[in-house]
Structure 1
Amino acid sequence: MRILATAARLGSALTPVLSGSPAMGLGPDSVQVEPRCLAVGDLLAATLIVTGYPAEVGPNWLDPLLSYPGRLDVSLHVEPVPAPVASDRLRKQRARLESTRRSAAQHGRLEDPETEAAAADAAELAWRVARGEGKLFRLGLYLTVYAEGRGELADELSAVRALAESMLLRVQPATWRALKGWTSCLPFGTDQLNHQRTVDTAALAAAFPFASPDLPTADTAAGAVAGVLYGINTAASGLLFWDRWAQDNHNSVTLARSGAGKSYLTKLDVLRSLYQGVEIHVVDPEDEYTRLAEAVGGTVLPLGSPGVRLNPLDLDPDGGPDELTVRALFAHTFLAVLLAEDLTGTQKALLDKAILAAYRQAGITADPRSHARPAPLLADLQTALTALEVPEALLLADRLAPYTTGSHKQLFDAPTTTVPGGHLTVYSLRDLPEELAAAGTLLALDRIWRTVTNRQRPCRRLVVIDEAWLLMRARAGALFLHRMAKAARKHRAGLAVVTQDTADLLATDLGRAVVANAATQILMRQAPQAIDAVADAFHLSVGEAAYLQSAGRGEALLSAGPGRRAAFVSTASDLEHGLAVTGLETPED
């Protein structure tokens, strides 16, 4: 019996090789054989033979090769050795090792540690084979690397060899046997290289299956299940629990096209995190979390509604001696987002003078004792800019007019009306006009961050930003979100970024940095136009990319790094479902 297992990762050349052309075919257009590689259609292929193995291997020991983020085929050929043949070979091997040991002893040489270890292993293996506890197998392991050019192929070969060496695997190129090496890695079940190594049942079993569909769970005490139930594992038919607080950082990113069920899954995550005592703050642009918040006794701040005010210049009386400086710096960021432009150096200098002047007019200085006084409003800042009597300052004052005396003043023309607090706080932005959406999101995040950094009331906190693309459109807002993603873990907080604008998020450096700082990544149905960017950013295999293109509502792929991925479908009880559906849907939908 001979078993061939081939794993293709991220754009494997196997598909173009077998298809030949977009029409249909049984092979590539052409194959040109060279001493060290093959020209297979438009690609170059080279095969590496594994000639040396580590003394011991653990479960799933081939996973680093199978998770390699490039075009790599891994072929494992297994041939069982009959028990009589295995016993005879082990007896001869033990005889050679014993002869070597006795010869060294007769000549007064020191014992060879490698010989002693090999002799002990051979004796143990012989006893297991004799008792029927194990068998011997002939194993051949080959790696075929693909690239588009010779330079790229050399780089890929170097990377794969380095990875193999890190796994204590010695590899050699299949020089003058490139065609045999390539065909040995195709799913034909033929080992034409015939470079095999004898292994026992335990070592072979550790290589199968190549990757477990179940994600590892954190250790728990008293048999309790850690983490949040995300849904049902579609590959293993088991429940998928995930604990974001046990990862390297507590951040997560959820990327999906509209209608894929990302908000539904996020609301289930919020609801089930509340069960575990996590304090949650949500930035809700579409008023989707109001029903959930009301059901669990949370607080809803409908920004933009009549009577709701949020002053961007508020100070924290317990903020410390540098609180005034911190709020002045935030005012720069807020005004850059509000005015939708990057301020020049001159404008920043004038704005800084006006901010400090507005605080002085309100009786607030660097002295923390003055921070309890009522903070100035945007109108006071506009007045301070006008008082500078500089053309640039007057221009800034005129641009602030719509937000102080004009049509967009409803959020800033009075002191803050509601102080957020409680186990769940939702900042609803639906009533804000489009021109204030990014500024309102930033104001909500600023309030949340001041709560997160409050050392007087430490606890786990989860910050959920739904439709994060609204904030990422402005560079100042993207920078603020990036800082939160990097610093949240220091304050026992996690940042959950949810967005449907996948391509734009991955197209910017700040967007990619936010994704890179998320240890938990959830991918749902993707648009065809964005799947290439997603596959490249998350090192998806061809099958995983196809899964995301055809995934139904609620189906997702959870990724927590190489070799730690699982496909699942979100599930909810009837009560949870009624709270998780949007306001435009009925619970029966």
Structure 2
Amino acid sequence: MLGKRLTPPEDERTGADPLDTDVEITPRRMRIADGLAASFAVTGYPAEVSHGWLQPLMDYPGRLDISLHIEPVPPQVASSRLKRQMARFESSNRASAEHGKLEDFESEAAAEDAREMAAALARGESKLHRVGLYLTVHADSEQELDDEIAHLQSLCASMLVETRPASYRQLQGWVSCLPVGVDLLDQRRSMDTHALAASYPFASPDVAVETSPTAVLYGLNSDSSGVVLWDRWSLDSYNTVVLARSGAGKSYFCKTDLLRSMYAGVTAAVIDPEDEYTRLTEAVGGTVIQLGAPGVHLNPLDLALDEHATRDAVSRRALFLHTLLAVMLGEQLTARQRAALDHALITTYYNAGITADERTWNNSAPLLGDLVATLRNQDDEHAHELAFQLEPYVSGSYAELFRAPTTRRPTSHLVSWSLRSLPEELKGVGTLLALDSIWRTVADTTPDHPRMVLVDEGWLLMQQPEGAKFLYRLAKAARKRWVGLTVATQDAADVLGSELGQAVVANAATQVLMRQFPQSIDRIAEAFALSEGEKQRLLTAAPGDALLCSGDRRVAFHVVASDYEHSLVTTNPAEHSPPPGPEASADTGIEDEEEFL
């Protein structure tokens, strides 16, 4: 007997005899201790099967007991039975022909199978076995059990397996599924050696993850018909890294993961360089901030007010502005430049009525133009040089974003920072400013639910040394604030080519690899310890194919989405028609997707 129990009952964990458990039996189900169970017997099998065809049952995401009872049939008995069966088929076919009835093709196929099996038995190539397959599904409540039964029957139907409830024999069905080798149902079917061998799932290519309220459906397993469910919030690190070449489906996967995470109550913020998340954000009632659009301003000198801070707001803001100016100027500041900037910042805030006294922190913050004016007025050539380099951001072609106080505060369950309207020279600056605003929102509140920060096209920030340091600090500190940082990039060289980039990858317990360029596959294979087969899979992967890596666990999957989800996450312009409402079809809609999950 081959038995499987995904989650042992309480009495097994305590060492008690499971047969001593109090039970309450009804015709179609039974109560065992605090749970419910329903048993089924498999009465119909597909005509042809491949190796491991029972694997989908073994990968069932709920608690399911599977028992396979095997009884060898002596060759003499098997031969006699097959002869009688062939005689019945032949007699039935002749009777149908004499009465002018049409041919029964199912009977013809069964007769042909019986002849082939008899010939194999005569040559000693195979043997006959009587096989009983029984299933017992468990749940905690009546409604959950009904749902599990519906899911199990749907799965069996997709496998062309016919199941019947063990009506009025639930106790016998439950005992038959226990690992004691007793078959009380005696619902047997004959199988030859080859079919029986194909029924043994010795190994599973799926990632074994227990279901949880925050688990997300990533897609379908590429090596089996199972689903890939993943819960990033159950790991040591909540961070995720997604590496893929352009057109591999990276953004499609990230948007699908984001949307399904929100089903579980996760709030999120997105850095969107190409305005790809606006459609999704508006559909779920989120907030879109279009940096670079006319009338949209963001003041980098706004103070980060944190009631739990150990340092004053002015000092903390000055530290960030050192990082920001290094990214804006494209080079690290010298010691003299940092000193001149520190003096100018203190003077600028003082002129605006803001000092180390927290009572002054609610005053209106100065603008970047005020800081540049202070630098000009200093009697220091390094301050004058900084003012000269910052001139394009104050009165030049880059001034629109910084010329006025911040116009909109990011307050929503999903905030998308769109950078598409920014000039290319400002993309890195915009990414850093958006991340800073997001992190201030995350760090200044007490976490009561998981939150996600998604940085699409992370290479924009990784190209800047100071930006890479800022992203590394976020990756290190995210877990303490119940935040999962997702970094997606199409330029693996920028991420893996620096120590900071490698540290960001190392701090991500979930790593998703999609199709890669041949030029970068060797570096990726070395960083993620890929086998030759995995390298070839990534080089030839179709859009949407991915390899999930987490420690020593690996699984290949294909991203899938419902029709409604697809309409929100696709970037194909030909498919950007108004998304169908959930009421348009019983097979689409977010509600249906939740039910499927």
TM-score by length of 2: 0.62
Q: Report the secondary structure of 1:421's partner residue.
A: coil
Alpha-carbon distance change, 217 to 545 in structure 1, aligned in 2, over 3 angstroms? same
Alignment of 1:136-175 (within 5 A): none
Q: 1:101-136: CA deviations, max 9, x gaps?
A: xxxxxxxxxxxxxxxxxxxxxxxxxxxxxxxxxxxx
Instruction: Give deviations 1:324-364, integer Å, cap 9, x for gaps.
Output: 11111001000000111111111011111111111111000
1:470, 1:209 → 2: CA distance? 46
Per-residue deviation, residues 220-275 of structure 1 (Å, max 9, x unmatched): 4xxxx651000000112111010000011100000000000000000000110111
One of 502, 510, 513 as aligned partner of 1:520: 510
1:571 to 522, 547, 560: 560
| C-alpha contact 1:522 1:557 (8 A) present in aligned 2 | yes
Name the structure 2 match of 1:580: 569
Amino acid at match of 1:212: S
Unaligned runs of 5+ in 2: 1-199, 580-597
> SS where residue 518 of structure 2 aligns?
coil
Paired residue type of 2:261: S
Q: Which residue of 2 aligns with 1:243?
A: 231
In 2, distance between residues paired with 1:574 and 1:583? 14
Q: Structure 1 CA distance, aligned partners of 2:554 and 2:468?
A: 28
Alpha carbons of structure 1 residues 536 and 472: separation in structure 2 relative to 1, 3 Å: same
SS of the counterpart of 2:519? coil
Partner of 2:65: none
Taking the aligned partners of 1:587 and 1:516, their CA distance within structure 2 comes to 37
Equivalent residue letter for 1:333: T
1:395 corresponds to 2:385: yes
AA aligned to 2:442 is V
Partner letter of residue 209 of structure 2? T
2-side partners of 1:481 and 1:278: how far apart? 21
Q: Would you say 1:230 and 2:222 are equivalent positions?
A: no
1-structure distance, mates of 2:204, 2:576: 35
Is residue 356 of structure 1 aligned with residue 346 of structure 2?
Answer: yes
1:212 CA drift (Å): 3.4
Q: Which residues of 2 match residues 58-207 of structure 1 at below 5 A? A: none
Equivalent residue of 1:283, what SS? Answer: strand
Say which SS state the counterpart of residue 573 (structure 2) adopts: coil
Instruction: Please state if 1:256 is matched with 2:244.
Output: yes
* Residue type at the aligned position of 1:306: P
| Pair 1:545–1:210, CA change in 2 (3 A) | farther
Q: By how many angstroms is 1:386 displaced?
A: 1.2
Equivalent residue number for residue 547 of structure 1: 537
C-alpha separation in 2, matches of 1:585 and 1:355 = 50
Task: Find 1:482's aligned residue among 469, 472, 489.
Answer: 472
TM-superposed CA distance for 1:210, in Å, is 8.7
Q: Does 1:333 align with 2:323?
A: yes
After TM superposition, give the deviation of residue 316 of structure 1 in Å: 3.1
For residue 218 of structure 1, the aligned residue among 202, 210, 213 is 210
Distance 1:350 1:231 in 2: 54
**For 1:530, what is the secondary structure of its paired residue?**
helix
Inter-partner Cα distance in structure 2 for 1:487 and 1:308: 30
Matched position secondary structure for 2:361:
helix
CA shift at 1:583, angstroms?
Answer: 6.2
Task: Tell me the equivalent position of 1:114.
Answer: none
- Equivalence for 2:461: 471
What SS does structure 2 have at the residue aligned with 1:231? strand
1:305 is aligned, of 284, 289, 293, to 293
Query: Residue 411 of structure 2 aligns with which residue?
Result: 421
What amino acid sits opposite 1:584 in the alignment? P
- What percent of counterpart residues are identical? 56
2:493 aligned with 1:508, yes or no? no
Partners of 2:446 and 2:474 lie apart in 1 by: 19
Q: What is the number of equivalent residue pairs in this alignment? A: 378
Asked if structure 2 preserves the Cα contact closer than 8 Å seen for 1:312 and 1:331, the reply is yes
- CA–CA distance in structure 2, aligned partners of residues 535 and 493 of structure 1: 28
Secondary structure in structure 2 of the residue aligned to 1:366: coil
Shift in CA distance, 233/371, structure 1 to aligned 2, threshold 3 Å: same
The Cα of 1:585 is off from its aligned counterpart by 4.5
Q: 1:315 aligns with which of 288, 300, 303?
A: 303
| Residue 454 (structure 1) shift | 2.0
What per-residue deviation string (whole Å, max 9, x for no partner) do you get for residues 397-455 of structure 1? Answer: 01111101111100001000000111100000000001111000000000000111123
> Once the 2 structures are TM-superposed, how far is the Cα of residue 474 of structure 1 from its aligned partner?
0.4
| Kept after mapping to 2: 8 A contact 1:310/1:412 | yes
Deviation of 1:213 after TM superposition, in Å, equals 1.1
The reply to whether residue 277 of structure 1 matches residue 265 of structure 2 is: yes
Amino acid at match of 1:307: G
1:433 equivalent to 2:411? Answer: no
Q: 1:548 to 1:444 in 2, by over 3 A?
A: same
CA 273–470 in structure 1, closer or farther in 2 if over 3 Å, else same: same
CA distance in 2, matches of 1:366, 1:527: 52
CA distance in 1: counterparts of 2:447 and 2:353, whole angstroms: 29
The residue type equivalent to 1:366 in the other structure is A
Instruction: Give the distance between the partners of 1:548 and 1:401, measured in 2 at CA.
Output: 46
8 Å CA contact retained: 1:577, 1:587: no
Q: Secondary structure at the residue paired with 2:316?
A: helix
What is the match of residue 177 of structure 2? Answer: none
Q: 1:210 to 1:412 in 2, by over 3 A?
A: farther
Residue identity in the other structure for 2:350: R
The CA deviation string for residues 160-191 of structure 1, in whole angstroms up to 9 with x for no partner, is: xxxxxxxxxxxxxxxxxxxxxxxxxxxxxxxx
1:265 is matched by which residue type in structure 2? F
Question: For residue 370 of structure 2, what is the amino acid of its counterpart?
Answer: D
Question: Aligned with 1:372: secondary structure?
Answer: coil
